[in-house]
Structure 1
Amino acid sequence: MECFINNQLDKALEPALEKALRNLLQEAARQEGVPEGAEVSVTLVDDAEIRRLNRMYRGVDAPTDVLSFPLQDEEEVEPPIKGEEGELLLGDILISLETAARQAAAYGHSLEREVGFLALHGFLHLLGYDHDTPEREEIMFRRQEEILGKVGLVRG
């Protein structure tokens, strides 16, 4: 799976963080049976930008940690959106690096683990997972921990 990382912050992204994000999402794609030619985009933004997007798309005037925008809709009657032959455009994941840093400090784990968790959370939403009921939340969160464990991004 192709993973595009877009850094919209004023400072450069640590190469190790970018590499960890790519590895995690590629492993998640393998675990979930996502076709080889699939594409996902991860954009790192600040709190002001994610607040603007959260207000625009969800009607919530506050920063959040992650937003995802799927290009596929499992309920669509139309064929899935595709790029060139063999490519599947999954969607976009936006992460506030400022919020991720605060959450990592609060939870006592690395920024790499927190950003990985948020990226994976957004990625699973792109694949149709949700946490809108207790049953679906249990399935999604268990899957997140399984995949994070496979790449060594465990809590603590």
Structure 2
Amino acid sequence: MTTEVNNETDVQIDGAEFAALADHVLRAMHVNPMAELNIIFIEPDPMAELHLRWLDLPGPTDVMSFPMDELRPGTPGSETPPGTLGDIVICPQVAAQQALAAGHSTVEEMLLLTTHGILHLLGYDHAEPRQKQEMFELQRTLLLTFLAERQA
């Protein structure tokens, strides 16, 4: 996988950790190893601008996904074609507020948001209860297996 991590904030970000997470998720979802993904960390003001422009909602949000080639998950033995998955944009300051409310670290929240964003790029959504259950269960499984492998 080709994952580029860009940090446009003053927050310390371990780009290698986020690239490793993306690699884990994309391998688990049988995405072609030649797929490209960008993860961009931005400040609240630019995030608020994106949020307003693309979703017509005020204020910064935690994560936004911008799909490119509309790749979908593959299956074992039949991965997706190569292509550009798209961009995930994360606001660390919003993630920090959510992490505090959830009782875990900001890094853990941003890893969760990255997984969430990748699933959106792969076509998952949470608009309906059944979709939300499927997406959130998959998101949890992918993140927990990544964290377990990192600790092993």
TM-score computed with the length of structure 2 as normaliser: 0.86
Secondary structure of the corresponding residue to residue 137 of structure 1:
helix
Secondary structure of the corresponding residue to residue 122 of structure 1:
helix
Amino acid at match of 1:123: I
**Aligned residue for 1:81?**
none
CA shift, 1:72, in A, is 2.6
Distance 2:105 2:19 in 1: 17
CA shift, 1:12, in A, is 5.8
Secondary structure of the corresponding residue to residue 125 of structure 2:
coil
Aligned positions, number? 139
Query: Which of 119, 122, 131 is residue 127 of structure 1 equivalent to?
Result: 122
**Aligned residue for 1:20?**
17
Task: Check the 8 A contact 1:20/1:112 in 2, yes or no.
Answer: no
TM-score computed with the length of structure 1 as normaliser: 0.84
Task: Check the 8 A contact 1:72/1:126 in 2, yes or no.
Answer: no
Amino acid at match of 1:132: A
**Aligned 1:20-59 pairs, distance under 5 A:** 20-59=17-56
Amino acid at match of 1:13: Q
Q: CA RMSD in A?
A: 1.6
Percent identical pairs in the alignment equals: 33
Q: Residue by residue, what CA displacement relative to the aligned partner does 1:43-90 show, whole Å, maximum 9, x if unpaired?
A: 10111111000001111112110000001347xxxxxxxxxxx74100
Query: Which of 94, 103, 106 is residue 98 of structure 2 equivalent to?
Result: 103
**Aligned residue for 1:64?**
61
Unaligned runs of 5+ in 1: 75-85
Unaligned runs of 5+ in 2: 72-80
CA shift, 1:20, in A, is 1.9
1:143 partnered with 2:143: no
Distance 1:111 1:151 in 2: 17
CA shift, 1:112, in A, is 1.5
Distance 1:18 1:106 in 2: 24
Task: Check the 8 A contact 2:35/2:85 in 1, yes or no.
Answer: yes
Secondary structure of the corresponding residue to residue 152 of structure 1:
helix
Task: Check the 8 A contact 1:44/1:95 in 2, yes or no.
Answer: yes
Task: Check the 8 A contact 1:8/1:45 in 2, yes or no.
Answer: yes
Distance 1:35 1:5 in 2: 19
